[in-house]
């Protein structure tokens, strides 16, 4: 274990440079002083600690640019489901208040999975419902304890689902509607003041903990809330991450509820001042070509989550469209119950492969482009450009060492292509965040994983009972939600994001 004031010499690894030889990166040393990279090359002198990286690939840490820790313990609970049905199983408002122990266990477990797959930064867009300041403190402390870099946002909205998911209001009988509006806290709760208050309380919690703003999705937020968040972002330099056009129904919501913006959620965001380099749009599956051009012109980031989109039957985002138009692109792994893994290797392979079904013409992304999206792209989307995402002097020391002796990398033909197309995470050997060794030889340095497993098991009896109760209630709701979803398919949205839409 090292402290931030010490130095580390990573000796003799193949150091990955986005602009260098990404097939056979040259052997070099990396010297870390404190939390930053002091040098890359040879003859860099000793460090307080030396890590022998011979036979290892020295990679910039991945940035998981879209993630929610609230459903970490629900991984593997669901088959593929349309997004609007899955949400009813996965979102915290469906469940009773959780214990602080469960909140701690899930936060640590999710972060542990991220670290183990070479992620050094995660954006946690967290719904705490009902809000409990003790739970927020628990989350902040858990990130500090495990040592991953976290850009954190509280997910907020002020329009209930029943108002803006197409046809829920028309289809769902009155006695069930209370289950579809619970995402908004009751009784004079002001999400804008709520976010401001907690940002001010926690902004300096740790050098690795940064704050962002998390409006849930444009159609669930009033102009007042979004304008207020835009002002807060400008005042404090905070990135804003929101969902947009994850499912086809969300495109229908734009067409139905935003006629003054030509049916465009992007137009709505523009009207409230929420486009630009400090804004990240998670999913962006059902984006129109004219909207892609607006994102390119304004420097707005898209954060694509290809694995979760497959599991929620949401379609394939126009990956080639974004890359060909020069839209800044990041990659995330989204929820644990729609992914179901926090694994950037899975996400990168899906990203690179699915790009090919958005345009069969050979072209981007190359494996190196994909790695750049998973590192530099994520850094840009989270307001960390120039700080993380590359191994260069002056940047934060967020680095993973990947073992090149595993079958996935033997023989070493291309570090970039074997990382994207062959590796699945188990070759990640050591992870350094902010100049501190958070995992060494596959052992997490700052937490006891056996104890964490026990904490998870202690939380599961209560959670399992609640999962069953939610499933029973959703079985009653399912015919109505499916009917609403099918009605939304009858609305023309002008684009298709499915390889085959089943003749709809």
List interacting residues with Zn ion (CB under 5 A).
Answer: 334
Q: What is the DSSP string of 84-133?
A: HHHHHHHSGGGSPPPPHHHHHHHHHHHHHHHHHTTEEEEEEEE--SS--H
SS3 184: coil
Nearer to Zn ion, 35 or 334 (CB): 334
Q: Nearest distance from residue 120's CB to Zn ion, in Å?
A: 20
* Cβ closest to Zn ion, residue 7 vs residue 337: 337
Write down the least CB distance from residue 75 to Zn ion, Å: 15
Q: How far is the CB of 407 from Zn ion (least distance, A)?
A: 34
167: left (phi over 0), alpha (psi -120 to 50) or beta: left
CB of 66 to Zn ion, least distance (A): 6
In sequence order, the 6+-apart residues with CB closer than 8 A to the CB of 186 are: none
Residue with CB nearest Zn ion? Answer: 334
Burial of 171 (0-12, 13-18, 19+ CB in 10 A): middle
Q: C-beta of 266: minimal distance to Zn ion in Å?
A: 18
CB of 338 to Zn ion, least distance (A): 8
Nearer to Zn ion, 67 or 409 (CB): 67
Name the β-bridge partners of 51.
10
Q: Which is nearer to Zn ion, 217 or 408 (CB)?
A: 217
Q: What is the DSSP string of 408-469?
A: GGSS-S-HHHHHHHT--STTEEEEEETTEEEEETTEESSS-HHHHHHHHHHHHHHHHHHHHH
CA distances in angstroms from 407 to 113, 197, 417, 418, listed in the order given: 22, 51, 14, 10
| Least distance in angstroms from the C-beta of 334 to Zn ion | 5
- Measured from the CB atom, is 282 or 348 closer to Zn ion? 282
Q: How far is the CB of 242 from Zn ion (least distance, A)?
A: 9
CB of 224 to Zn ion, least distance (A): 23
Give the separation between CA 354 and CA 320, rounded to whole angstroms. Answer: 9
Name the residue nearer to Zn ion (CB basis): 29 or 334: 334
CB of residue 70 vs Zn ion: minimum separation in angstroms?
A: 10
The H-assigned helical ranges of 147-222 are 161-164, 168-171, 191-202
Q: Which is nearer to Zn ion, 64 or 408 (CB)?
A: 64
Q: How far apart are CA 477 and CA 112, in angstroms?
A: 35
**HSE-up of residue 229 (Cα within 13 Å, Cβ side):** 34
- 312 or 408: CB nearest Zn ion: 312
Separation between Cα atoms, residue 374 and residue 40, nearest integer Å: 22
Nearer to Zn ion, 247 or 430 (CB): 247
Tokens describing residue 77? 């609970």
Dihedral of the CA atoms 59, 60, 61, 67 (nearest 10)?
Answer: -120
Least distance from C-beta 344 to Zn ion, angstroms? 16
Q: With respect to Zn ion, which residue has the nearer C-beta, 37 or 63?
A: 63
Instruction: Tell me whether residue 60 or residue 110 sits nearer to Zn ion (CB atom).
Output: 110
Strands 7-15 and 49-52: parallel
With 0-12 CB in 10 A as exposed, 13-18 as middle and 19+ as buried, what is 418? buried
Question: Which residues have a Cβ under 8 Å from the Cβ of 126 and sit 6 or more positions away?
Answer: 68, 69, 70, 139, 152, 153, 154, 155, 214
């Amino acid at each position: 274990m090292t402290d931030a004031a010490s130095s580390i010499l990573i000796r003799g690894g193949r150091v990955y440079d986005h602009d260098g030889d990404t097939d056979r990166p040259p052997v070099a040393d990396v010297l870390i002083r404190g939390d930053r990279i002091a040098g890359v090359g040879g003859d860099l002198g000793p460090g307080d600690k030396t890590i022998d990286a011979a036979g290892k690939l020295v990679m910039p840490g991945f940035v998981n640019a879209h993630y929610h820790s609230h459903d970490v313990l629900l991984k593997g609970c669901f088959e593929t489901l349309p997004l609007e049905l899955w949400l009813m199983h996965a979102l915290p408002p469906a469940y009773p208040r959780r214990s602080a122990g469960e909140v701690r266990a899930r936060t640590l477990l999710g972060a542990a999975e991220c670290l183990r797959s070479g992620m050094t930064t995660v954006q946690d867009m967290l719904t705490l419902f009902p809000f409990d300041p003790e739970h927020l403190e628990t989350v902040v402390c858990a990130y500090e304890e495990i040592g991953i870099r976290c850009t954190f946002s509280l997910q907020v909205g002020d329009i209930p689902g029943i108002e803006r998911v197409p046809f829920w209001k028309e289809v769902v009988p009155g006695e069930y509607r209370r289950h579809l509006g619970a995402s908004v806290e009751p009784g004079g709760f002001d999400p804008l003041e709520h976010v401001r208050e907690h940002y001010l309380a926690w902004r300096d919690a740790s050098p690795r903990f940064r704050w962002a703003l998390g409006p849930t999705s444009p159609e669930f937020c009033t102009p007042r809330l979004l304008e207020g968040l835009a002002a807060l972002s400008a005042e404090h330099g905070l990135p804003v991450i929101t969902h947009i056009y994850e499912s086809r129904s969300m495109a229908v919501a734009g067409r139905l509820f935003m006629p003054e913006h030509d049916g465009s959620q992007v137009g709505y965001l523009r009207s409230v001042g929420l486009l630009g380099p400090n804004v990240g749009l998670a999913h962006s599956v059902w984006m129109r070509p004219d909207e892609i051009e607006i994102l390119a012109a304004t420097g707005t980031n898209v954060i694509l989550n290809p694995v979760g989109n497959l599991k929620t039957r949401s379609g394939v985002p126009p990956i080639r469209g974004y890359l060909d138009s020069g839209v800044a692109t990041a990659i995330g792994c989204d929820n644990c119950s729609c992914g179901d893994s926090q694994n950037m290797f899975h996400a990168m392979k899906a990203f690179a492969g699915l790009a090919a079904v958005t345009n069969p013409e050979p072209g981007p992304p190359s494996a190196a482009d994909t790695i750049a999206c998973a590192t530099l792209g994520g850094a840009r989307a989270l307001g960390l450009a120039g700080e993380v995402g590359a191994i260069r002097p002056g940047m934060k020391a967020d680095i993973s060492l990947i073992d090149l002796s595993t079958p996935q990398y033997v023989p070493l033909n291309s570090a970039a292509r074997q990382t994207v197309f062959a590796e699945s995470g188990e070759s990640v050997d050591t992870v350094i965040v902010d100049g501190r060794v958070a995992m060494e030889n596959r052992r997490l340095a700052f937490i006891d994983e056996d104890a964490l497993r026990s904490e998870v098991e202690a939380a599961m009896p209560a959670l399992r009972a609640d999962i069953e109760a939610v499933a029973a209630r959703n079985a009653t709701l399912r015919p109505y939600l499916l009917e609403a979803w099918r009605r939304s398919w009858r609305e023309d949205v002008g684009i298709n994001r499915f390889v085959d839409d089943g003749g709809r």
